[in-house]
Amino acid sequence: MEQVQWADRGQLLQLDSPEGAVQGGCIGVSRLGSVQVSGGFSFWLQLHGSSWVEAKEGKFRLRSGDWIAFEKDSKPTVQADRFGVCVGLTLTGEALREMTRFADRGLYAGRGQMTRHDARIGLRLWREAAARLADNPGASFDASLLRPILLHLAGVQRDLAARIPRCPGRSRSRKRQVFGRLQRARLYLEGNCDRVVRISELAELTSFSSWYFSKTFHSLYEESPQAASARMRLEHAADLLTSTSMMIGEVAAASGFDNCCSFARAFRARFGVSATRYRAAATRGEPGKTQAAARKSLERKSLATNA
């Protein structure tokens, strides 16, 4: 794989990055272009418009400012929309290990958002890294070529990394390994918000037993895998209500609910209002009201639990 590539105007790129071939590569996707990456850890940042991503962990939609990261065997396909611009960075295991040696930090699978300031810095550092890689085609890996962008991305993930000490394990490397597996499981839940995910699936993905996985997940994220899945599915439903014209029943089915009644009860319990009122408030440009209702609902639940 070349170290700098771009898919634009409907172009499809299929990139293979086997271990030991290329230690780092910069990739861009724009205007209906798409990229399929096989091998290598990858980190993606959506700059403009939207992109759709499909990987072993599921399906995702990226909007401006969103970032997402995948493990080496995830094989993500990134498809930009008509106005979308997404940039990515691929790294082999050796590059990640080199990063922990010079910075005592790592990068992990996951999804989140960058501030505009962080996104602008990320784009500038990505361009600088792409220029350095282009000036050194086929060169052996030099950590200094990618060090600025890697440190920036590690800083973006600092809230995630703060959880590492809570993971089981006697050494820091073991804690990082456990954390990386759990982060991938959490990403899998986000990528499968259209259905109920079984604990056995997550245990198999992480190579843990179901009991150990559930116990460790709850300890790390302060909610059970089942609760996390239900929350993500309802948040997915709320997004569909505000970004599509799907009927309520269609939203319920697309969020993994068997019938409208169970969806209606769960949605009201989560957000404090019905799905219809939630959509109406969003249509009127009043998202604050729905968010306030959700906070009040959660506060009532907390008080009832403490009582």
Q: What is the pLDDT of residues 3-16, one digit of tens each?
A: 789 999 999 999 87
Question: How far apart (Å, rounded) are the C-alpha atoms in residues 223 and 216?
Answer: 10
So where are the chain's domains?
Answer: 4-161, 177-222, 230-306
Is the domain covering 230-306 a CATH 3.40.50.720 domain?
A: no
Question: How far apart (Å, rounded) are the C-alpha atoms in residues 203 and 216?
Answer: 11
Question: How far apart (Å, rounded) are the C-alpha atoms in residues 89 and 45?
Answer: 9
Paired tokens of 198 = 């079984």
Handedness of CA 64, 47, 10, 133 (dihedral sign): negative
Question: How far apart (Å, rounded) are the C-alpha atoms in residues 32 and 178?
Answer: 37
Paired tokens of 282 = 């969003």
Question: How far apart (Å, rounded) are the C-alpha atoms in residues 248 and 232?
Answer: 17
Q: Where are the beta strands (DSSP E) in the chain?
A: 4-8, 12-16, 24-30, 34-38, 41-48, 50-55, 58-63, 66-70, 77-80, 85-91, 110-113
Largest CA distance in the chain: 65
Q: Which CATH superfamily is domain 4-161 in?
A: Regulatory protein AraC (2.60.120.280)
- The rounded Cα 14 to chain-centroid distance in angstroms is 21
pTM for this prediction: 0.90
pLDDT in tens, 155-192: 999 999 999 999 999 999 999 999 999 999 999 999 99
Contact 45, 87 (CB under 8 A): yes
- The rounded Cα 72 to chain-centroid distance in angstroms is 14
Helix (H) or strand (E) holding 29: strand 24-30
> What mean pLDDT comes out for the span 52-79?
97
Contact 87, 120 (CB under 8 A): no
3 state DSSP class of 69: strand
Question: What pLDDT, on the 0 to 100 scale, is given for residue 306?
Answer: 44
> What mean pLDDT comes out for the span 18-47?
85
Question: What pLDDT, on the 0 to 100 scale, is given for residue 259?
Answer: 93
What rounded mean pLDDT belongs to the chain? 89
Cα angle 63, 93, 60 (rounded to 5 degrees) comes to 20
Residue 307: is its pLDDT beyond 50?
Answer: no
Position 21 confidence tier, pLDDT thresholds 50, 70, 90? very low
Contact 141, 194 (CB under 8 A): no
Position 93 confidence tier, pLDDT thresholds 50, 70, 90? confident
